[in-house]
Amino acid sequence: MSAFTLPSASLLSQSVLSGIFVGALYGLMGLGLSLNWGLLRLINLAHFAFAFLAAYLCYELASRGLDPLLALAAIVPLFFAIGAGLQGLVARFAITPFNSLLLTFGLTGIVEALIQSIWTADFRKLESSYAQQKFKVGTLFVPVPELITLVLAVAISAAVWAVLRYTDLGRALRGAAEDAPIAAAFGVNQKANALLLAGTCAALASIAGVCLALSFTLAPSQIYAWIGVVFAAVMLGGLGRALGPLVAGTLIGVSEAVTMAVTAPSWAPMVSFTLLIAVLVLRPGKSA
Amino acid sequence: MKRTPIAIVGAGVALAGLPLLGLPPFYDSLLYLMLHWIVLATSWNILSGYTGYFSFGHGAFFGAGLYTTSTLLARFDWPFLWTLPVAALVAAVLGVALGAIVFRVKGVRGELFALLTLAVTFVIGTIVGNTPLDGGQGVSLSAVPVPPIGPKASATFYLLALAAATSTLMIAWGVAASRFGAGLFAIHDDEDAAEVMGVPTYRYKLMALAISCALAGAAGGIHALFLSYVTVGEVFTIAVPLTVVLMSVLGGTRHWAGPAVGAIAITGLLYSFTAADHAIAGKAATGAILIAAILFMPDGILPRLQRVLGRRRTRLPSAAPAQPTASALPTAAEAVVAAPGDASARDRRGATVRVGAVLLQVRGLDKRFKGIHALSAVDVDVRRGEILGLLGPNGSGKSTFINVVSGHYAATAGEIRFEGRTLTGEPAHRIAAAGIARTYQIPRPFAQFSVVDNVALAAMFGGAVADPAAARREAMTWLEFTGLAGRAEARPDALNLHQRKFLELARALASRPRLVLLDEVLCGLTPSETDAAVALIRRIRDQGATIVFVEHVMRAVMALSDRIVVFDHGLLLAEGAASEVMKRPHVMTAYLGTAAVAGARP
């Protein structure tokens, strides 16, 4: 066990900043998961597989010279279609939330096998013009790929929040999540809305995947590494809430980064999961 | 029924001879893995499949056993077999400690429980990885000798796993066939109703968790030496719980043998692909099979098979008693017809009412929900042998009164004494055991139990019948009493509202209560169904039970009640004989004024 060492102020603030960056990715990953779970009662484990598939596609396109952000234009519609297709299947067979977990776990296995057969199990790293770019603010280094992730996460979360809160579509979705038959009786076309929402969630997963490819090395087995901490962010933030995953993800990211700076990196998971347990036990009503 | 344990042990003994055939070690390992997953999946199912509390923390309990054994072997040089009971114990203690906290929090059910247990897995994994238990390097057990139980090391592991699997299946069957198991299944279907029927839900969940963890811990202990090199990254993951969930759901979670069927299918499948060097294709195929299974057999392989085989058997003739369809609701007009002082209603009640000493004494009962004062300083006495009607407008506190007396809600203040014993603050299952039964306004049958099993559960837990078979016989007598005998083997969702209400009554009566609390049994029934129910309630009293009933149907109130109490805004407004109380001006304004509105609601 490493001794506790108090890091310097500049190291600490650099850790907080990197915590914010990784937290933004937790939030972006969690957003689609949270909406799918909270508003459609679909616990989509395949969300992570979608993100990785998008990351690999982005890697592939970038290796042929396409800018990763331009690749989004091709990737997002593709994943929207995949998500809507999955929702169509789930609705057709009236899957319970728990069976949806298992179904999407099966799908994750298929996607993992697909990735492995195309790109092998080796680690891959996207090379792009952004990869090495960073600039200095005061004593802090700000890497550009992480900054892109943060900006995207904040902008998208805010946009989703505004749609859910202020548009008729958002109200219809929230109403249908509370009581689908009653919402249908009031004229909500839940079937179409659900397809739209599920497509959006998968599209969000693909955006998170592109951000993932910008700053992390990829391997098929890494799909499972994100599940625990992103689920923690989703639950902490409250299911079906647009800003929740970002806020909770940032909180987790920062506390992990500070833990890593103060103790050892291997203690990092302790923070997020202890937080999650505390929230579930102390305020179970708030998190669902 | 008793053939099942003999078959399990017989299969175990027969399979124990397998290493003598001298199969290549390859087969020993495959069979070991199958048995290993049978133990893990079946042990998971005892808590999660039976009660519906899906745990994603099985990796933590498995890992606790695994690291207990490896620590005792590597650092303390214990003999291997002695470490296994310790591994089981450590895992069970860990589980009980977790359950003691988590099961107290009412909101942690379903997905929240799954997530919480998953988080616990990562926390324990982090602790193990960062302490000398593992040290981040993993623990090597290659120097530890394998006990010479079988002819080869691989045969030893096979025999150990076989013994573990046989005992696990015996335990899983024993639990499922017992009163304990019936209680667990009831928790799965409706935990609150189970508690009210007398199932000690908290204790049962803890016991199921302890058994589940102990078996997983023992499997972990065996697996530690099988692996001979253990690392945190391979144990405290989401992979272990996902695999066991997958196996159990594939096989069927409501049957003791379901997880074993799933474990054999999936292990065999994965192995056949890896053996043929198609590991990636195997992963994809497993995923595809899982998806197909969820889509086409959502209840699992075993229930599906049972259904296919069951079709051949002839069904019980399900001749329901003639039921008028529930169409017309009791309207406000009826309340006017049976207005206070209706002589014929009084006469129909019969004159042979022997009212005895105080059975239930409620003093100063208070119930607050945050700002709302649902009950304020209510004093009520219920005398032995009487039928007491609880009246009042909607929201006046009648149902709250029943919920507090039955232990569904805890009282904020005040005292409840039943037969001289203080029941205030007791959990609902103790109150049920003390002799108080209740019905729900909206019937809450256990959806996956047959009608007769619904009633048998109440007989087992509220009553004194411990044996499941005797409880079913007892249940049949109550189904005959309520006219549901022809529907005994039906599922509750096949019953109409009237029949479900009578099922509620049969469940309440099966515990042989001295006090029955009826919450709007007549609500939603047609006039002729109401008459049948009124006659039944009178027969219940004639059996010797005391009855407190909440009702809006005035005709029934006048026909049945010896005495009524009227609630308004949580206060006791009036008390006395029905015809006399309903003439009091303040009761008429408080109650009858709103009754017309109340009667017209859907």
Residue A155 has pLDDT above 50, yes or no: yes
The rounded distance, in Å, linking the Cα atoms of B35 and B27 is 12
CA distances from B189 to B57, B361, B364, B524, B571 (A): 22, 33, 35, 24, 35
Q: Which of B136, B238, B286 sits opposite A228 (nearest CB)?
A: B238
The rounded distance, in Å, linking the Cα atoms of B180 and B200 is 10
* Chain B CB contacts of A266 below 8 Å: 126, 129-130, 136
User: In this complex, is the C-beta atom of A276 within 8 Å of any C-beta atom belonging to chain B?
Assistant: yes
Using alpha carbons only, what angle is made at residue B66 by residues B61 and B70, rounded to the nearest 5 degrees? Answer: 150
Domain match, B67 and B185 both: yes
User: In this complex, is the C-beta atom of A117 within 8 Å of any C-beta atom belonging to chain B?
Assistant: yes
pLDDT at A78: 96
Report CB contact under 8 Å: B291, A269: no
Task: Answer whether residue B529 is part of any domain.
Answer: yes
End-to-end Cα, chain A, rounded Å: 36
Domain match, B199 and B239 both: yes
| Percent share of chain B, pLDDT over 70 | 89
- Over residues B301-314, the pLDDT tens digits come to 888 888 887 765 44
Report CB contact under 8 Å: B246, A105: yes
* Chain A CB contacts of B134 below 8 Å: none
How near does any CA of chain A get to the CA of B294, in Å? 6
Report CB contact under 8 Å: A224, B290: no
The total of structural domains in chain B comes to: 3
Query: Which helix (H) or strand (E) is B358 found in, with range?
Result: strand B358-369
Residue B337 has pLDDT above 80, yes or no: no
User: In this complex, is the C-beta atom of A274 within 8 Å of any C-beta atom belonging to chain B?
Assistant: yes
pLDDT bin (cut points 50, 70, 90) of residue A248 is very high
The rounded distance, in Å, linking the Cα atoms of A210 and B34 is 40
Domain match, B431 and B466 both: no
Largest CA distance in chain A: 62
- Over residues B185-194, the pLDDT tens digits come to 999 999 999 9
Q: Do residues B128 and B134 touch, judged by C-beta distance below 8 A?
A: yes
Query: Which helix (H) or strand (E) is B36 found in, with range?
Result: helix B25-51
The residue among B491, B512, B533 that closes a domain is B512
* Chain A CB contacts of B110 below 8 Å: 97-98
Domain match, B369 and B409 both: yes
Grouping H, G, I as helix, E, B as strand and the rest as coil, residue B563 is: strand
Residue B494 has pLDDT above 70, yes or no: yes
User: In this complex, is the C-beta atom of B235 within 8 Å of any C-beta atom belonging to chain A?
Assistant: no
Task: Answer whether residue B13 is part of any domain.
Answer: no
pLDDT at B331: 31
Task: Answer whether residue B89 is part of any domain.
Answer: yes
The residue among B234, B260, B286 that closes a domain is B260
The rounded distance, in Å, linking the Cα atoms of B469 and B476 is 11
Query: B115, B126, B234, B248: best mutation site toward chain A, by most A Cβ within 10 Å?
Result: B115
Largest CA distance in chain B: 94
- Over residues B42-52, the pLDDT tens digits come to 999 999 999 99
Interface pTM (ipTM) of the complex?
0.82
The tokens describing B332, both together, are: 């406000």
Domain match, B128 and B236 both: yes
Stronger pLDDT, B587 or A34, i.e. the higher one? A34
Task: Answer whether residue B196 is part of any domain.
Answer: yes
| DSSP line for B47-107 | HHHHH----S-HHHHHHHHHHHHHHHHHHH---HHHHHHHHHHHHHHHHHHHHHHHTT-TT
pLDDT at B523: 82
**Helical packing angle, A190-215 and A168-178, nearest 10°:** 100
Report CB contact under 8 Å: A1, B136: no
How near does any CA of chain A get to the CA of B479, in Å? 33
Alpha helices in chain A (DSSP H): 9-40, 46-63, 68-92, 97-119, 144-166, 168-178, 180-185, 190-215, 227-237, 244-262, 268-282
How near does any CA of chain A get to the CA of B547, in Å? 36
Stronger pLDDT, B587 or B490, i.e. the higher one? B490
Task: Answer whether residue B387 is part of any domain.
Answer: yes
What does the buried/exposed string (b/e) look like for B449-462 if buried means 16 or more CB atoms within 10 Å of the residue's CB? bbbbbbbbbbbbbb
Mean pLDDT, rounded, of chain A: 87
**Residues B497, B500, B501, B502, CA torsion sign:** positive
- Match 């609500």 to its residue by tokens: B523
The rounded distance, in Å, linking the Cα atoms of B34 and B100 is 32
User: In this complex, is the C-beta atom of A95 within 8 Å of any C-beta atom belonging to chain B?
Assistant: yes
How near does any CA of chain A get to the CA of B279, in Å? 9
Lowest mean pLDDT, pick from B65-74, B310-319, B321-330, B506-515: B321-330
Strand residues in B473-568 grouped as ranges (E): 515-519, 546-550, 563-568
Q: Which of A89, A114, A273 sits opposite B119 (nearest CB)?
A: A273
| DSSP line for B392-419 | -STTSSHHHHHHHHTTSS--SEEEEEET
* Chain B CB contacts of A99 below 8 Å: 249, 294, 298
Domain match, B203 and B75 both: yes
Q: Do residues B305 and B565 touch, judged by C-beta distance below 8 A?
A: no
Rg (CA), chain B: 29
Grouping H, G, I as helix, E, B as strand and the rest as coil, residue B363 is: strand
Rg (CA), chain A: 19
pLDDT at A288: 41
The residue among B229, B260, B291 that closes a domain is B260
The tokens describing B195, both together, are: 């508690």
Rounded mean pLDDT, A268-282: 81
- Over residues B415-439, the pLDDT tens digits come to 999 988 888 888 999 999 889 999 9
Lowest mean pLDDT, pick from A129-133, A260-264, B295-299, B498-502: A129-133
The tokens describing A175, both together, are: 């109403």
pLDDT at A236: 83
Domain match, B224 and B359 both: no
| DSSP structure class, residue A222 | G
- Over residues B107-126, the pLDDT tens digits come to 667 677 887 888 889 899 98
- Over residues A71-114, the pLDDT tens digits come to 889 999 999 999 999 999 888 888 887 788 888 988 998 999 99
Q: What are phi and psi of B275, to 5 degrees?
A: -65, -35
The tokens describing B98, both together, are: 């977790």
Task: Answer whether residue B534 is part of any domain.
Answer: yes
The rounded distance, in Å, linking the Cα atoms of B424 and B415 is 6
Report CB contact under 8 Å: A232, B119: yes
Residue B167 has pLDDT above 90, yes or no: yes
User: In this complex, is the C-beta atom of A13 within 8 Å of any C-beta atom belonging to chain B?
Assistant: no
Task: Answer whether residue B10 is part of any domain.
Answer: no
Q: What are phi and psi of B141, to 5 degrees?
A: -115, 20
* Chain B CB contacts of A281 below 8 Å: 101-102, 105, 108, 116
Domain match, B187 and B63 both: yes
How near does any CA of chain A get to the CA of B258, in Å? 16
pLDDT at B276: 67
Q: HEC profile for A89-152?
A: HHHHCCCCHHHHHHHHHHHHHHHHHHHHHHHCCCCECCCCCCCCCEEEECCEEEEHHHHHHHHH
What does the buried/exposed string (b/e) look like for A220-236 if buried means 16 or more CB atoms within 10 Å of the residue's CB? bebbbebbbbbbbbbbb
The rounded distance, in Å, linking the Cα atoms of B575 and B386 is 14
Domain membership of residue B533 as a residue range:
334-435+514-600
The rounded distance, in Å, linking the Cα atoms of B115 and B55 is 8
Task: Answer whether residue B199 is part of any domain.
Answer: yes
Burial of B586 per CB tally in 10 Å (0-12, 13-18, 19+) = exposed
User: In this complex, is the C-beta atom of A69 within 8 Å of any C-beta atom belonging to chain B?
Assistant: no
Domain match, B366 and B498 both: no
How near does any CA of chain A get to the CA of B135, in Å? 8
Report CB contact under 8 Å: B294, A224: no
Lowest mean pLDDT, pick from A58-72, A124-138, A258-272, B140-154: A124-138
Stronger pLDDT, B279 or B94, i.e. the higher one? B94
pLDDT at B168: 96
Q: Do residues B53 and B109 touch, judged by C-beta distance below 8 A?
A: yes
Report CB contact under 8 Å: A106, B286: yes
The rounded distance, in Å, linking the Cα atoms of B363 and B360 is 10
* Closest residue of chain A to B114, computed from CA coordinates: A98
Report CB contact under 8 Å: B112, A288: yes
Residue B597 has pLDDT above 60, yes or no: no
Mean pLDDT, rounded, of chain B: 83
pLDDT bin (cut points 50, 70, 90) of residue B585 is confident
The rounded distance, in Å, linking the Cα atoms of B353 and B541 is 10
Domain match, B177 and B117 both: yes
The rounded distance, in Å, linking the Cα atoms of B364 and A245 is 47
Grouping H, G, I as helix, E, B as strand and the rest as coil, residue B229 is: strand
Q: Do residues B59 and B242 touch, judged by C-beta distance below 8 A?
A: no
Q: Identify residue A135 by its one-letter amino acid code.
A: F
Stronger pLDDT, B546 or A96, i.e. the higher one? B546
pLDDT at B260: 95
Domain match, B487 and B534 both: no
Q: Do residues B536 and B482 touch, judged by C-beta distance below 8 A?
A: yes
The tokens describing B470, both together, are: 């005797």
Q: Identify residue B240 by its one-letter amino acid code.
A: V
Q: What is the CATH number of the domain that holds B582?
A: 3.40.50.300
Residue A206 CB-half CA count within 13 A: 24
Report CB contact under 8 Å: B112, A109: no
pLDDT bin (cut points 50, 70, 90) of residue B17 is confident
Query: What pairing do the DSSP bridges indicate for beta strands B387-391 and B563-568?
Result: parallel
Domain match, B44 and B170 both: yes
Alpha helices in B412-526 (DSSP H): 428-434, 451-461, 468-482, 497-510
